[in-house]
Every structure is written in structure tokens, then in C-alpha cells.
């Protein structure tokens, strides 16, 4: 398990795959991910492409760990804006109007079991509709 | 094959207006000049479309006529005591103008996606003002460009070639004549092509901006580093800023979404104000969706406030932190929602998405999203800038006309026309 600071943000892949369709294979492949620094991947003892569980005090999600092309950023995990990332965020804005989408403490661990849920599964499991 | 020139790209806030589109049999077959984001939109807009209005009856969706969907929407909005109307950054100013009338009529809260992107920027600007310019001025004159908490190569790919690093300006003509600085927590794609990259510790933008202000005002920083940045580097940047001819600080959500929020923006604006004692310096937000700036402008011209406007008292009331969508939903106060051109279920923290899913939602959108999937009523619409015309504001506040280049699918009308139908039904016309 490693401790990281989670940053969510835009990515080129997010923008292009969103136009292909939010329920498309491309969208899930490009967004249900977490970009990690090569050293953090090493401390977890995993290779790029393996699944990890990310946990914050607000929630948890399983996504694919990808070696970051925008490294070095040891200790920082990056996730593109999406429902997968938003499972890890708190809803309070501390009266600012804006929830905190960046700079959140998170734990990352390898998962032996459990798979990455697609958007329909997230809607059913985490939102409780459909 | 028909070629249409000078098409405006309706993806990001750059609103590139030099796109060439080839059309054959009402289908876009080729697009020139866009980046990959624009290209993906122009070539895929016709996929994953919703083609029929629908209403959720118990668990299942049933296709209905447009009139039936409008009637149901009107019923939901009229029965609500505190409805929210949200979205707007992916549609035209004309559509939003009708939305404002609906909000006033039903005494609801109307907010746009600024609320969860550059809301803090607007609060910062309202608190202390700003030194700004158009992107044309930046292109022609800026010899120092700083991207702070923004990665345009991923979010606004042509920003660098049209307005900054790689653009040919009237007075500043080449890349060599411009210095590019990137301040970010990661060595982003944009950082890789900068002259100077400053890697800052997460959540410490305010500290670095304050240290820069101190250095610009001739203070001696009595530390070895601030925000993970060595003091020599801070002093070097301060010197670069003072000695440039025209500087532009372009900032993104790295500043607005990190702790500090509008305080970060105030610090950045104050730094730019300090710099204007020595030289010309401007500050510009990197706005994401193609018409999020228009959403602020239309809300402003109709109510005096740029977002998060609450009509429940019978007059426009604005207090970010209270009337902002994220807060209203988190407090569980709204009892119906009209969502236009937006997908809040994907973009709000999970607890808020869950709360939103418990109330009746009417969504107007061209394509399928997690929000359309959980809505009570879904009304499909056409794409502005592809199938319908309209006005949008570029990220620097310049309004541009978006063209209609192909016909929408049969029976599909625009957000503007759908909203007009809702408004007239609500009025009992
Ligand atoms: S930079 Fe933005 S507006 Fe310009 S082509 Fe790319 S997506 Fe479209």
C-alpha cells in the first residue's frame, strides 16, 4: 500500500473518447485509470496495466494503474475527470461553491480480486438506479 | 462534396474559427485544422445519439412524442418548490437566454458548469478586479507566457499554436522571442516544451504566488524553498516577469480546484497587479467547454450575476457557497432538476450524484450520458455549431457565431427551440 495525493484533471484521451461516447469501450479504457509515477509503481511491486484499488475517506474504486508519461511526480496519482474518479471525492465545498477535485489524500493497493466496473455497473451499484 | 470554411470548433474555449469541413450527403467526411479533440467531435457527433424523447415509467423508459415529453417536463418543473436548472456550457447563448426566463418564471436556481470549473476565478475577479486582454493581444505582443495549473496540450491543444508559444504575432514573431514557463505539480506535456518548468508541491499554489509577490516587491525571502521550489528559482521567475515587455499568466483548474480556491486566484491577480507597476501584464483563465464563458456572460447580462443565480425569492440572488449547484445538491434541497447540455452525474462527487438521482430530472442532450440514463424525462437535441447555429463566447470573452453545417436527424430540434416550447407551456401561452 502507498499513500498518495490524488489529482483529478483533464486529459487528451478523456476529450477524444468522450466524443466517441461515454458508454464506449474507448471511454472506459482511457478513463478508468490512474497514472502513477514509475517509482510508485515499483514500490507497489506492479507493472503498468495492473489493477489497483484507490481509497480516500470518501470512497474507493478499482481502476487500472498506468505508468505516467508526465512524470516525475512521485507521491502524486492522477485520474482523469470521470465517474470513476468522482467516487473518491467529497461533496462538501466548505462554502466555496467548489468541491475539492485536486489534492486529496488517498491510499493505493494492489487488488487480487475485484474488477473495474463499467459505467452501467457504477450507476447500478453506486448510485442505485437502472 | 461541399466544403465549408471558417467553421468554429465547438469543443473547447479556444473556439478556433478556421476549421474546414467537407460534407457529402449531409455527412461530415473530412475536417481540417482541428486538434484531435475537435476532430473527434466533428467525426463522432452522429454516434451514440438519442433519437426519440422518452419518459421513465416505473423502471422502464418509454419513447414518447416531443409534446408529451415537454408536458411531463412542465409538470415536473411546476410541481417543484426548489428546482435547479443546470448545464449550459455546451450550448448557445440564445438557448441559455430562454433558460434564464424559465428559471425566473418557476422561481428556481440557474447555474452553469462554471460552478465546478472557474467559479473561484469569477469570485476572485469580483473581489479584486483583473488586468485582462484578448487572446489577439497575447498573440501579437506577449514575450512571456506562464501556464499555471493548466496543461493546454491536453485541454486546449491549439492554444499554443494560435495564441502563444508557436504563434506568429505582429510584434512577437517567433518561438525564440517568447519565453514559456509552466508551473504544475506534474511535468505535463506542456511543461516538456516550456523554457522553464517549475514543479510545485500539490496544494501550495497560494504560498508560491505569495512568495513571487514578495520577490516582485523587492522582498528577500528568508527560506531556502517555498512550495517545494528553491528560492533562486522563484527570484529568477520574478525577475523574468518584471523584465518582460508583455506578460500573460494563463491559469487553469490547477488553481481553482485545489484548496485555497478563490484565494489562489486572488493571489494570482494580485501578483499580476503588482507586475503592472513595472510592465504590462495580463491574466486570463483557460476556460474548458466551448461556451462556458458565454454562460457567464448571458447570466450576467440578464441578472447582474455570472452563475449560481437563485430566483426563489422572486428576484435574482447570488451567493456562491450557498446558491451554487454543488452546495444545493449536497444539502439535498432541490426537488427537481432541468439539465441542459451537461452530465452532472459523471462530474459531481459521488454523494452529490446519488442525491441528484433521487429527484426527478429532465435532461436535454444530444447523446447518451450517465445523466440521461437516470433521468425521468430525456429530450434529445441537435448539436450547436454542427446542426444548428448560435453564438458562443471564446475564453477571452470574444463572441463568435457558430454555423449550421449539416441537418440534424429527423425530428430533432435545438436546445433553444425545446426551451422555447417549455417556456411557452409554462406561461400557459
Ligand atoms: S483547440 Fe479547442 S477549439 Fe481549437 S480545434 Fe482544438 S478543441 Fe477545437
Ligand 1 atom closest to B15 (CA): 3
Residue B418: per-residue pLDDT: 98
**Percent of chain A whose predicted confidence (pLDDT) is above 90:** 94
* Rounded average pLDDT over B58-62: 89
Collapsing DSSP to helix, strand or coil, B66 comes out as helix
pLDDT at A2: 96
- Split at pLDDT 50, 70, 90, the class of A35 is very high
Q: What one-character DSSP code corresponds to residue B380?
A: E
Interface list for B 121-160 with A (CB within 8 A): 123, 151, 153-155, 157
Ligand 1 mean position, distance from CA B83 (Å): 34
B345·A127 Cβ contact <8 A: yes
| B175-190 pLDDT tens trace | 999 999 999 999 999 9
Which residues in chain A have Cβ-Cβ distances shorter than 8 Å to B374?
123, 127, 129-130
pLDDT tens digits, one per residue of B354-373? 999 999 999 999 999 999 99
> Per-residue pLDDT for B210 more than 90?
yes
pLDDT value of residue B206: 97
Question: What digits encode the pLDDT tens for the residues A9-30?
Answer: 999 999 999 999 999 999 999 9
DSSP B98-123: HHHHHHHHHT-EEEEGGGGTTHHHHH
pLDDT at A113 over 90: no
Calpha distance B3→B314 (Å, rounded): 49
The per-residue pLDDT for B367 is: 96
Single pTM value for the model: 0.95
Residues 6+ away with beta carbon under 8 Å from B421: B66, B70
What is the pLDDT confidence band of residue A64, given thresholds at 50, 70 and 90?
Answer: very high
What chain A residue is nearest to B117 in terms of C-alpha separation? A98
Q: What pLDDT is recorded for position B377?
A: 98
Who's near B59: CB < 8 A, 6+ residues apart?
none
Hey, is the C-beta of A43 within 8 angstroms of any chain B C-beta?
Answer: no
Coil/strand/helix, residue B408:
coil
Confidence of residue A130 (pLDDT cuts 50, 70, 90): low
The residues with which A53 forms a beta bridge, in sequence order, are A62, A109
Pocket test for ligand 1, best of B44, B154, B156, B290 (most atoms within 8 A of CB): B156
Q: How many helices (H) and strands (E) does chain B have?
A: 18, 21
Distances (CA, A) of A121 to A86, A115, A118, A130: 15, 11, 5, 9
**Confidence tier at A129 by pLDDT (50, 70, 90):** confident
By CB neighbour count within 10 A (0-12 exposed, 13-18 middle, 19+ buried), where does B285 fall? buried
Q: How many CB atoms are closer than 10 A to CB B61?
A: 16
Segment B229-254, tens digit of pLDDT: 999 999 999 999 999 999 999 999 99
Alpha carbon of residue B49 to chain centroid:
23
In angstroms, rounded to a whole number, what is the distance separating the alpha carbons of residues B13 and B392?
9
Please tell me the distance from the alpha carbon of residue A22 to that of residue A84, in angstroms, as a whole number. 12
* Minimal-distance CA residue to ligand 1 atom 6: B35
Indicate the SS3 state at residue B219.
coil
DSSP structural state of residue A125: I
pLDDT band at residue B8 using 50, 70 and 90 as cut-offs: very high
The 10s digit of each residue's pLDDT in B106-145 is 999 999 999 999 999 999 999 999 999 999 999 999 999 9
Cα B20–chain centre separation: 24
Beta-strand runs (E) in A10-56: 33-36, 51-55
Please say if the pLDDT value at position B93 is more than 70: yes
**Chain A interface includes B332 (CB < 8 A):** no
Instruction: Give pLDDT tens digits for B12-56.
Output: 999 999 999 999 999 999 999 999 999 999 999 999 899 999 999
Q: How far apart (Å, rounded) are the C-alpha atoms in residues B355 and B232?
A: 49
Helices (H) and strands (E) in chain A, counts: 5, 6
Which residues from chain B sit within 8 angstroms of residue A27, using beta carbons? none
Find the farthest-apart pair of alpha carbons in chain B and give their distance in angstroms, rounded: 70
Share of residues in chain A with pLDDT > 70 (%): 99
Contact yes or no for B116 and A99 at CB 8 A: yes
The pLDDT of B346-352, averaged and rounded, is 94
Amino acid at each position: 500500500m502507498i499513500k498518495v495525493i490524488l489529482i483529478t484533471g483533464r486529459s487528451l484521451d478523456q476529450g477524444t473518447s468522450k466524443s466517441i461516447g461515454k458508454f464506449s469501450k474507448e471511454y472506459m479504457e482511457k478513463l478508468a485509470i490512474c497514472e502513477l509515477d514509475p517509482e510508485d509503481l515499483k514500490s507497489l511491486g506492479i507493472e503498468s496495466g495492473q489493477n489497483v484499488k484507490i481509497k480516500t475517506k470518501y470512497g474507493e474504486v478499482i481502476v487500472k494503474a498506468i505508468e505516467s508519461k508526465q512524470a516525475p511526480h512521485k507521491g502524486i496519482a492522477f485520474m482523469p475527470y470521470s465517474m470513476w474518479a468522482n467516487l473518491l471525492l467529497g461533496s462538501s465545498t466548505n462554502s466555496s461553491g467548489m468541491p475539492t477535485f485536486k489534492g486529496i489524500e488517498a491510499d493505493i493497493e494492489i487488488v487480487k480480486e475485484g474488477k473495474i466496473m463499467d459505467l452501467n455497473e457504477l450507476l447500478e451499484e453506486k448510485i442505485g438506479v437502472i | 462534396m461541399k466544403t465549408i470554411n471558417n467553421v468554429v470548433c465547438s469543443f473547447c474555449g479556444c473556439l478556433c474559427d478556421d476549421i474546414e469541413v467537407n460534407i457529402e450527403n449531409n455527412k461530415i467526411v473530412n475536417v481540417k485544422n482541428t486538434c484531435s479533440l475537435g476532430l473527434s467531435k466533428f467525426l463522432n457527433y452522429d454516434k451514440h445519439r438519442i433519437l426519440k424523447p422518452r419518459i421513465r415509467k416505473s423502471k422502464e423508459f418509454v419513447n414518447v412524442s416531443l409534446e408529451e415529453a415537454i408536458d411531463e417536463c412542465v409538470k415536473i418543473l411546476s410541481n417543484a418548490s426548489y428546482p435547479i436548472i443546470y448545464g449550459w456550457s455546451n450550448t448557445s447563448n440564445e438557448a441559455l437566454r430562454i433558460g434564464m426566463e424559465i428559471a425566473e418564471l418557476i422561481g428556481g436556481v440557474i447555474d452553469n458548469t462554471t460552478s465546478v470549473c472557474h467559479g473561484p476565478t469569477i469570485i476572485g475577479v469580483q473581489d479584486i478586479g483583473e488586468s485582462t486582454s484578448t487572446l489577439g493581444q497575447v498573440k501579437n505582443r506577449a514575450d512571456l507566457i506562464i501556464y499555471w495549473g493548466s496543461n493546454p496540450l491536453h485541454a486546449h491543444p491549439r492554444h499554443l499554436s494560435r495564441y502563444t508559444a508557436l504563434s506568429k504575432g505582429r510584434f512577437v514573431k517567433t518561438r525564440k522571442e517568447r519565453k514559456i514557463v509552466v508551473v504544475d505539480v506534474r511535468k505535463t506535456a506542456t511543461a516538456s516544451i516550456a523554457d522553464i518548468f517549475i514543479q510545485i508541491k500539490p496544494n501550495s499554489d497560494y504560498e508560491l504566488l505569495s512568495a513571487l509577490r514578495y520577490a516582485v516587491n523587492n522582498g528577500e525571502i528568508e527560506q531556502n524553498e517555498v512550495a517545494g521550489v528553491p528560492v533562486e528559482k522563484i527570484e529568477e521567475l520574478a525577475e523574468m516577469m518584471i523584465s518582460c515587455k508583455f506578460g500573460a499568466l494563463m491559469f487553469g483548474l490547477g488553481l481553482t480546484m485545489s484548496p485555497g480556491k478563490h484565494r489562489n486566484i486572488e493571489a494570482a491577480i494580485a501578483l499580476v497587479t503588482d507586475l503592472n507597476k513595472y510592465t504590462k501584464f495580463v491574466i486570463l483563465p483557460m476556460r474548458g467547454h466551448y461556451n462556458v464563458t458565454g454562460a457567464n456572460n448571458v447570466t450576467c447580462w440578464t441578472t447582474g450575476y455570472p452563475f449560481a443565480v437563485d430566483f426563489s425569492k422572486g428576484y435574482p440572488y447570488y451567493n456562491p457557497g450557498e446558491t451554487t449547484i454543488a452546495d444545493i445538491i449536497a444539502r439535498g434541497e432541490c426537488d427537481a432538476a432541468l439539465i441542459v447540455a451537461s452530465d452532472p452525474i459523471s462530474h459531481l462527487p459521488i454523494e452529490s450524484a446519488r442525491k441528484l438521482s433521487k429527484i426527478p430530472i429532465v435532461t436535454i442532450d444530444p447523446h447518451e450520458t450517465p445523466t440521461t440514463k437516470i433521468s425521468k424525462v430525456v429530450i434529445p437535441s441537435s448539436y450547436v455549431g454542427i446542426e444548428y447555429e448560435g453564438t458562443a463566447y471564446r475564453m477571452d470573452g470574444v463572441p463568435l457565431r457558430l454555423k449550421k453545417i449539416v441537418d440534424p436527424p429527423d425530428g430533432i430540434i435545438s436546445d433553444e427551440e425545446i426551451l422555447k416550447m417549455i417556456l411557452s407551456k409554462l406561461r400557459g401561452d
